[in-house]
Chains A and B, each alone.
Chain A
């Protein structure tokens, strides 16, 4: 019993931090309708600045802590002013979510460059000696955590419910267009909500810093836990955020103590998935449900880049020829491996593009299927000597079964909740990969996977593997182009932009969305298997949630709903760090910045920009619309 109390208190400490982060989620969501994934990043930045001030520079804590919080808020507001606020008017909410993932990545990149990858720990605010209540010992920092969280909750409630400013914030939440007509400066309110969320995150960060060790990418965990907590509690509800946070903290700590630390994440994610099925709006529903309007997606749908028809085939032939010849010129083994990885990831990206770019279904857990494919085929190949092709097929079969189970949840969800469910799935696979030691080898990975071989021929070198993957990529690309330019692709695009109108025309939306999902899963699983065969090794972080987010980044940077766009993103993000190896420390920062930049300035990605340049060079006028708008419609013959 004593032990239980001790653990429960620990759970409440962690839970308070989750609650604080979740509170930030709710706040930004209520004001803007978007999810801000960057929160956890700001928590870490605040903690690290606090460390520098207090430990490295020796400032007294009462000065260092507020200074660190202030500095973080300043960074957050500045970042938001140039990214989040302008993005809200241009991007759909699902894409804003990805943009904030980009901000998170960028912050992590900054932290990596400034503070390196080693962990930091701050000294407790009030000394090391815990308070003793009879047999129960409570670290003093716990009281700081409880106190700070409580102050945040009360202050936020007061601001929203009792002040004029709060009224303005609430008006933005209800109807931004009407609010701006009433003279409320919506961008300013957006910035304010982001700033407040950053403030809460920063406070949470510095307060939690003494209880745990932090490193540049711990922010991810805070973001994810906060997001999960907010979703369990009800994303639009402040009490929901608090209850969700405390609940999640208790569940993770208790299950770590009494079941296994390896499965504590898995258990909280299962709870989340159950909540999403049972009550998608979360445990605590607020009266004001934000409209999840499909027309929201209009902003996102945009116009995909399209090559002039007569350039398509010649350029494709040229690209394939170049891809075949490149290895002859490449002598560096690192670059050759980079090419293979890019080619493998491109396979996943084509599937992801069908799912996201065409069907408009966000997936933040695509690497989860790479993991299922990779681990299944790797395990079979190691333990049962199963031939490569059979092992790959088995991996695909297992992935498809998992996908069908997951689709029970995902087919009912849209936008934000879909993003959340897929994220949870990816994390779940992640924690299973760590937890099932006997099958996956746990955190240290699955070793001794044989190289890919068919009919006695083994493709062990990067160059040999490159040609295998290239051939598959070309075949898959041709097949998908065939489907996307025909009825199937058109139906997906219609569903993406207006599901109700598509259904009213007799398009079976469920079936098409499921088909797109299964295509993407098949390709991800195939790519995962090839990945495992190529490295002869598979570890959880190679196919974890960071990989999922990276895949989405690659797709956006390359260009959505183009099928080939992903290739540009994959090449950029895999080859650049290999080529500029000394600058590898900037990789995280660069990929975050690229993602943000693409969202804001290259809505059609690198591929789109390339197509536009090509169109201008060849002088072909892609813009028929301009000349057409002057044409008068004729009266139909009656």
Chain B
């Protein structure tokens, strides 16, 4: 695999893979998202943080058109995502996960991961029904890759286990691996650390760094400060539906508004 060196973060910041401009969304009279603009840089981990109810997941859902936005524009790799169905967005290489690990129940761990590779399959229904060798080879290759992926994150033991019987941490990891199988250009993770214990969070951090080394851009919405401070290249802080800070972890950490809105409480709770 070709690892791309991303040590020179500053220069990579110029090539944004995702541009969000002037996002607005109201629920009834409440303006949940108010003029949110930010960018996710290529080959970097961009994190969006904020207190509970700040609108992080809403932003995610607006980007991927799970909710419709009132105003604003989302550009991904030069394409306008407005009104685009979820399938097409995924087809462009923007793959997202969900806050409540949405593994496919009734399917085993490895089957779940293999579904991730589905969009890259080239063999038709006809060749599958005829048991053509091409289709069967593809199936074998997919299974091999899925097995490798599960090994990589230490989930091999769960390959034949039904996904819903996995522990919560493993389910979240499984969802990330499944998304990776789809070979995303931008991987969007919605609170991947929610429900994980400290060890599992550490594993997740390692996985995120490994993903960045593969050259995959990551946008992560997260609640867990230590994870974000550890892995993110850039951090966007959102509070009450508006962006209050945007910068490197160090810059954000020293921003007085952020401390007021978020860190103060968080540090207090952590100690």
Contacts and interface: CB of A to CB of B under 8 A. Distances in A.
B135 interface: yes
Interface string A1-30: 000000000000000000000000000000
A352 B96 CA distance: 32
B144 interface: no
B210 A503 contact: no
Nearest first, the 5 A-B pairs at minimum CB distance are A301-B106, A506-B119, A631-B157, A506-B90, A634-B154
A493 B95 contact: no
A494 B182 contact: no
B35 interface: no
Interface stretch (A70-78, A116-124, A212-220, A621-629): A621-629
A266 B184 CA distance: 50
Interface string A482-518: 1101111011011011101111111111000001000
B121 interface: yes
Interface string B95-139: 111100010111100010011101101010100111100011011
Main secondary structure of the interface of A (DSSP, over half): helix
B141 to A, nearest CB: 12
Interface in A593-633: 624-625, 628-629, 631-633
Interface in A299-330: 301-304
Contact of B90 (A483, A503, A625, A632): A503
B71 interface: no
B134 to A, nearest CB: 11
A635 interface: yes
Chain A contact residues (Cβ within 8 angstroms of B): what range?
35 or more
A637 B1 CA distance: 15
Main secondary structure of the interface of B (DSSP, over half): helix
A467 B155 CA distance: 48
A307 to B, nearest CB: 14
A304 B106 contact: yes
22 contacts: A304-B106, A478-B131, A482-B130, A487-B142, A490-B111, A491-B115, A497-B105, A498-B104, A500-B98, A501-B102, A504-B86, A504-B95, A506-B119, A507-B87, A507-B118, A625-B162, A628-B158, A631-B157, A632-B154, A633-B155, A635-B202, A637-B210
Given A482-B131, A507-B90, A624-B161, 14 more contacts: A486-B123, A487-B139, A491-B115, A500-B66, A505-B116, A505-B182, A506-B91, A507-B118, A509-B87, A628-B157, A633-B170, A636-B153, A636-B154, A636-B207
A506 B129 contact: no
A505 B90 contact: yes
Contacts of A505: 90, 95, 115-116, 118-119, 178-179, 182
A302 to B, nearest CB: 6
Interface of B: 64, 66, 85-87, 89-91, 95-98, 102, 104-107, 111, 114-116, 118-119, 121, 123, 125, 128-131, 135-136, 138-139, 142, 152-155, 157-158, 160-162, 164-165, 167, 169-170, 173, 178-179, 182, 202-203, 206-207, 209-210
Contact of B102 (A500, A506, A629): A500
Contacts of A633: 153-155, 157, 169-170, 173, 203
A411 B129 CA distance: 24
Of B95, B125, B139, chain A has the most CB atoms within 10 Å of the CB of: B125
A625 B166 CA distance: 9
Contacts of B209: 638
A497 B152 contact: no
Contacts of A637: 152, 210
Nearest to B112: A494
Of A505, A625, A629, chain B has the most CB atoms within 10 Å of the CB of: A505
B125 A488 contact: yes
A454 interface: no
